[in-house]
Structure 1
């Protein structure tokens, strides 16, 4: 965000895209190294609030295309998390009983 402020006077926008769980070949190899890959995947997806599924590489690309396009011409200093809400998910959610 500091760069966004500094570079704004030159018309340069600074943003970032921070994905979380994205099914890539590297991620698949990591999953396959687990004792029970499908159970591991299910337990990860269960913690993704929006849709209980992994983010796709296309969704990441779409976020980048948006930030690079004229449609985001007045957007700078932002952090975009295309992750189905995963980064904001409280790991204690559903485990704490409230009376």
Structure 2
């Protein structure tokens, strides 16, 4: 995906990153992060035992690191919007795990 700016406007639209994307823009397209990009940045395991899970509970998406077979949960992010929950989880990972000796 990339952002394309409307001519004579400050509005942007997300469009697939292909040849058409370049034809629509007189400037270089601005790359965007998709949900898949963010999820791929989140490690599948932490501390060798906590596994990353995504599931929907009611109208919320829950992303969590939990220990399989028991109720131990390292962290949970949830939101009505899956992209928001994934972003929150990635920010948590960067601030709490990646920057410390967790």
Query: TM-score range, shorter-chain basis?
Result: 0.3 to 0.5
Looking at secondary structure, tell me which structure has more strand per residue.
Answer: 2
User: Could you say which structure has the higher helix fraction?
Assistant: 1
- RCO (CA 8 Å, sep 6+): is it higher in 1 or 2? 1
TM-score (norm 1): 0.33
